[in-house]
Chain A
Amino acid sequence: MRLSIYRYDPDKDERPYIKDYEVQLEHADRMLLDALVKVKVLDDSIAFRRSCREGVCGSDAMNINGKNGLACLTKVADLPEHVTLRPLPGLPVIRDLIVDMTQFFKQYHSIKPYVINDEPPPERERLQSPEERDHLDGLYECILCACCSTSCPSFWWNPDKFVGPAGLLQAYRFIADTRDQATAERLDNLNDPYRLFRCHTIMNCVDVCPKNLNPTKAINHIKELLVKRAV
């Protein structure tokens, strides 16, 4: 397998460059991450994040032949013989495939990602029907890999002002939770030409999400709630 990988080490490189690698894969090397681990044996200076290698920790998001995805969930068999890897677009590169995710997490934090409920909690669990709980499906599973937000042109343009698909998906996750009492506050927080309304339904986020989540749908729900509130 031939990999062309974006390389940049600010410690020694004046500018980024693409370096080519050839790796021999064995039967057990099923995923792109397996190939990358092989590359690292050849050249230990290549830097990328990885941890769970099963698509739940969200570490190894990168741009694979032009499309964002997780290396650990990308089957080698589904890729062409030649693969180009770049860091996630739109975020500052720290080194090689490692990006600075500060801005991404700042937006996530800005939506107050926690249940707000100021009533004293009961002795046992708060009750929620299975149907109410079903509303959280497709929302809570987000792994914060940033594939979606860094594929979104609106996020590229305004990463400081537009919450981005990942943050908005989570904003809706808390609005949709019957235990949360802060819907009004959350809608106020998003009722802004940039924070929410920079979403132009381009749907790159839906296209790339490795967990098959649908941020656009969640964003539309938020927009509907704002419209309903206005009339």
Chain B
Amino acid sequence: MALSVRKFDAIVVGAGGSGMRAALELARANLKVAVLSKVFPTRSHTVAAQGGIAAPLANSTEDNWHWHMYDTVKGSDYLGDQDAIEYMCRRAIEVVVELEHMGMPFDRLESGKIYQRPFGGHTQDYGSPKMAMRSCAAADRTGHAMLHTLYQQNVRANTQFFVEWMALDLIRDPQDGAVIGVTALEMETGEVSILQAKATVFATGGSGRIFAASTNAFINTGDGLGMAARAGIPLEDMEFFQFHPTGIQGAGILITEGVRGEGGYLLNKNGERFMERYAPNAKDLASRDVVSRAMTTEIKEGRGCGPDADHLLLKLDHLGPEVINHRLPGIREIAIRFANADPVREPIPVVPTAHYQMGGIPTKYTGQVVVPEGATSESILPSFYAVGECACVSVHGANRLGTNSLLDLVVFGKAAGEQVIKDIRSLPSPQRNLPKDAGEASRARLARLDAASSGERVADVGNDLRRTMQAHCGIFRFPEDLARGIEKVKEIAARAQRLFIQDKSKVFNTARVEALELDNLVETAMATIVSAEARKESRGAQSRADFPERDDKNWMRHTLWYKEANRLAYKPVHLKPMTVEAFQPKARTY
């Protein structure tokens, strides 16, 4: 039986910050748009972002986009593409002011302007010891405020949402590889359909659930990455996974860097403010990779806190109840609930926790997906776009600065929307023809799950995957661990081919959804650990015991991982910005 086909001008997969920003652009242009989301839009993981969105508004301290650009290039450990970084920083004020005009409830200064706080790695005057107050904040609920505002604007623009629809696989034109849509599962009915479009935008978010200790929501299973990988599209720089310095010990829940931006700091068991030793200037506001490594070193060297010496303390009671209740109310609520600690009186136990994937589907700053073809390393893949955490533009390079992720979402969500409109208006013919076997791959995956009467449990395989990644591909990476980890992930991938679920119902079958998600987790984990093993240097979030230094001569290049035979290829970093002088790589200290 043929699958039913629905046709659109554009489909957006994912309704977090970047997907809804792209959708808004498209809906306002009166295109026929479908936005698919596994969850109701305001349940997307953007909602959990806390500390702020970067923009050099200069409301409290002198600032400009050149300084922001420098900080982002340096933060990326010089792996970020400088043209894309310039593009993002130059559009930051515009997109943040737009959010304000849309009604986003930013905190305010006495002047009536948007409140801004300092954040890690954001400085004045090209890395001077003076921090820039660049993070535009709505208390410590900036992601929530932004996501709801974007949803509200989409309601106003009459965007068509397909809520609780899970995209399963990409459909490509066998002629030239162009993307012509996706297959998707409607969870409520269990029906699979084809959604066909002149433009397909992936905004599927990250894959933080490949690690056992993660700040990420259950839904962050790398779905877009898995779909791209299965369709033969490479994934870029997947070895770079950010560990956030302050996840609540045991629970993994995020405690914003904004706590340190407001004046909080980390202590070891001796009550020492140890970041002073690792980053004499920026201290607790050094880049996240630097702080997470310092914390891990403290714990390894026996200066961790608690009976098991396994965590550190985040102190903020000296800020006083006024600041905590006004600027960090969500943190107080979370700490009381998940750490049994009221930060007004006592410190919060924290450990570095998997948080953000810098890599993703390779794109340029227009959101267009670019892949190697013949002699060129970046040829535009027709009709396919990716934005947000699932994309690698690359503005974050080897390490992302806090508050640059929300900025990334709106800048590139908007840019991709603009590009899609341009591309669709220049298309000669309305829709391409679907290949004869369209949807076959998805149907086969579902049929296998339906037919299985015994096999591996999804929870067991998933937990083994997460434990393996945690043990073998963490903050500090060791050659033997990585090599053994790859073998283990391969074994797990084989087990994932034999999944068995008891639930065979068509109606809202969440066991089926979790099994389908596991396929995506496996692809993402494989890409991460294989890329990490191959990169013989330490840069940003990748820290190898056997190659402790950055090696610009051999490794100033982006990784491309292909699912097929775990093949790796490399492409050059864009060292040339659009209009300004390039920032030359130098030793990175904070």
Query: In the bound complex, do residue B144 and residue A143 qualify as a contact, i.e. CB atoms below 8 Å apart?
Result: yes
List A contacts of B501 (CB < 8 A): 44
Query: In the bound complex, do residue B108 and residue A133 qualify as a contact, i.e. CB atoms below 8 Å apart?
Result: yes
Q: Mark A113-129, 1 if CB is under 8 A from B, else 0.
A: 11101000101111111
Query: In the bound complex, do residue A127 and residue B506 qualify as a contact, i.e. CB atoms below 8 Å apart?
Result: no
**Is B589 located at the chain interface by the 8 A CB criterion?**
no
Query: In the bound complex, do residue A113 and residue B152 qualify as a contact, i.e. CB atoms below 8 Å apart?
Result: yes
Known: A44-B503, A51-B43, A114-B102. A30 touches B251 (CB 8 A): yes
Known: A28-B250, A44-B511, A95-B507. A115 touches B102 (CB 8 A): yes
Say which residue of B145, B218, B505 sits within 8 Å of A45 (CB atoms): B505
Q: Mark A180-222, 1 if CB is under 8 A from B, else 0.
A: 1000000000000000000000000000000000000000000
A53–B217 Cα gap in the complex (Å)? 7
List A contacts of B253 (CB < 8 A): 53-54
Say which residue of A11, A59, A73 sits within 8 Å of B507 (CB atoms): A11
> What is the interface of chain A mostly: helix, strand, loop, or mixed?
loop
Known: A125-B97, A179-B103. A95 touches B508 (CB 8 A): yes
**CB neighbors of A among B167-191 (8 A):** 188
**Is B323 located at the chain interface by the 8 A CB criterion?**
no
**Is A2 located at the chain interface by the 8 A CB criterion?**
no
Known: A28-B250, A54-B334, A57-B217. A177 touches B103 (CB 8 A): yes
**Is A17 located at the chain interface by the 8 A CB criterion?**
no
Query: In the bound complex, do residue B337 and residue A55 qualify as a contact, i.e. CB atoms below 8 Å apart?
Result: yes
- The smallest beta-carbon distance between B455 and chain A, in angstroms, is 12
**Is B477 located at the chain interface by the 8 A CB criterion?**
no
A11–B253 Cα gap in the complex (Å)? 37
List B contacts of A50 (CB < 8 A): 218
**Is A140 located at the chain interface by the 8 A CB criterion?**
yes
Most buried by A among B57, B103, B188, B338: B103
- The smallest beta-carbon distance between B247 and chain A, in angstroms, is 11
Known: A11-B507, A41-B457, A44-B503. A140 touches B145 (CB 8 A): yes
List A contacts of B153 (CB < 8 A): 114
List B contacts of A140 (CB < 8 A): 105, 138, 145, 148
Query: In the bound complex, do residue A11 and residue B217 qualify as a contact, i.e. CB atoms below 8 Å apart?
Result: no
Q: How many residues of B contact A (CB 8 A)?
A: 61
Say which residue of B109, B152, B218 sits within 8 Å of A130 (CB atoms): B109
**Cβ-Cβ contact count across A and B, 8 Å cutoff:** 152
A55–B219 Cα gap in the complex (Å)? 14
Known: A45-B502, A57-B43. A40 touches B101 (CB 8 A): no
List B contacts of A55 (CB < 8 A): 333-334, 337
**Is B458 located at the chain interface by the 8 A CB criterion?**
yes
Known: A57-B47, A58-B42, A133-B108. A43 touches B509 (CB 8 A): no
Q: Mark B112-134, 1 if CB is under 8 A from A, else 0.
A: 11100000000000000000000
Query: In the bound complex, do residue A115 and residue B111 qualify as a contact, i.e. CB atoms below 8 Å apart?
Result: no
List A contacts of B42 (CB < 8 A): 57-58, 143-144
- The smallest beta-carbon distance between B451 and chain A, in angstroms, is 16
Chain B residue nearest in CB terms to A115: B103
- The smallest beta-carbon distance between B511 and chain A, in angstroms, is 4
Q: Mark B508-530, 1 if CB is under 8 A from A, else 0.
A: 11110010000000000000000
Q: Mark A91-105, 1 if CB is under 8 A from B, else 0.
A: 000111010010001
Query: In the bound complex, do residue B43 and residue A114 qualify as a contact, i.e. CB atoms below 8 Å apart?
Result: no
Chain A residue nearest in CB terms to B94: A123
- The smallest beta-carbon distance between B213 and chain A, in angstroms, is 11
**Is A20 located at the chain interface by the 8 A CB criterion?**
no
- The smallest beta-carbon distance between B8 and chain A, in angstroms, is 22
Most buried by A among B113, B144, B510, B514: B510
Chain A residue nearest in CB terms to B149: A114
Known: A56-B47, A73-B337. A10 touches B112 (CB 8 A): no
A73–B251 Cα gap in the complex (Å)? 12
**Is A141 located at the chain interface by the 8 A CB criterion?**
yes
A109–B163 Cα gap in the complex (Å)? 15
- The smallest beta-carbon distance between A123 and chain B, in angstroms, is 8
List A contacts of B330 (CB < 8 A): 56
List A contacts of B508 (CB < 8 A): 47, 94-96, 98
Query: In the bound complex, do residue B103 and residue A57 qualify as a contact, i.e. CB atoms below 8 Å apart?
Result: no
Q: Mark A25-64, 1 if CB is under 8 A from B, else 0.
A: 0001010000000001101110111111111111100000
Query: In the bound complex, do residue B510 and residue A180 qualify as a contact, i.e. CB atoms below 8 Å apart?
Result: no
Known: A126-B100, A126-B101. A51 touches B505 (CB 8 A): no
Query: In the bound complex, do residue A129 and residue B112 qualify as a contact, i.e. CB atoms below 8 Å apart?
Result: yes
List B contacts of A114 (CB < 8 A): 102-103, 149, 152-153, 155-156
A190–B509 Cα gap in the complex (Å)? 39
A12–B509 Cα gap in the complex (Å)? 13
Known: A45-B505, A58-B42, A144-B42. A133 touches B47 (CB 8 A): no
Residue ranges of B at the interface with A (Cβ–Cβ < 8 Å): 39-40, 42-45, 47-48, 57, 97, 100-103, 105-114, 138, 141, 144-145, 148-149, 152-153, 155-156, 188, 217-219, 250-251, 253-254, 330, 333-334, 337-338, 457-459, 501-503, 505-511, 514
Further contacts, 4 of them, CB under 8 A, given A114-B155, A121-B97, A143-B144: A52-B217, A94-B507, A140-B138, A174-B103
The 6 closest A-B pairs by CB, nearest first: A115-B103, A127-B112, A45-B503, A44-B511, A114-B152, A57-B43
A–B complex contacts, Cβ < 8 Å, 19 sampled: A10-B507, A11-B507, A28-B250, A45-B505, A47-B508, A47-B510, A51-B39, A52-B48, A57-B45, A105-B40, A113-B152, A114-B155, A114-B156, A115-B102, A125-B97, A127-B112, A133-B108, A140-B145, A141-B144
